[in-house]
Amino acid sequence: RKEVEQDPGPFNVPEGATVAFNCTYSNSASQSFFWYRQDCRKEPKLLMSVYSSGNEDGRFTAQLNRASQYISLLIRDSKLSDSATYLCVVNDGTGGGADGLTFGKGTHLIIQP
């Protein structure tokens, strides 16, 4: 069974701080990786894709370590509006089967004023 594991948190972080969380995945054939953000009682929304070379989008940086099969998300200068659950998402890498993407259960982040 393909697994994506995340620390559920919550991570309580003061506003302006830097926070990082990781996830690990079990399927070495996975080729596409994503971070999604989900606000309370809302749908998940794509935050960013994760590329092998690492990528940055404003205050957010994503890293991929294929050898160790983990993905990280770094948030700098955190804002109150960053409070949400962050889902790590990995594709199954086969192009077939019952599921294209496997979702982690999410890490809950709370930014405190």
Partner 1 sequence: DAGITQSPRHKVTETGTPVTLRCHQTENHRYMYWYRQDPGHGLRLIHYSYGVKDTDKGEVSDGYSVSRSKTEDFLLTLESATSSQTSVYFCAISGGRGYQGYTFGSGTRLTVV
Binding site for partner 1 (CB under 8 A): 31-32, 34, 36, 42-46, 49, 87, 89, 91-92, 95, 98-101, 103-106
Q: Give whichever of 19 and 87 is closer to partner 1, judged by the CB atom.
A: 87
State the nearest-atom distance from the C-beta of 4 to partner 1, in Å. Answer: 9
Contact assessment for residue 87 and residue 104, using Cβ atoms and an 8 Å cutoff: yes
Q: Give whichever of 63 and 85 is closer to partner 1, judged by the CB atom.
A: 85
Q: Give whichever of 78 and 109 is closer to partner 1, judged by the CB atom.
A: 109
Ranges assigned E (strand) in 1-113: 4-6, 11-14, 19-25, 33-38, 44-50, 55-57, 60-65, 70-75, 84-91, 101-103, 107-112
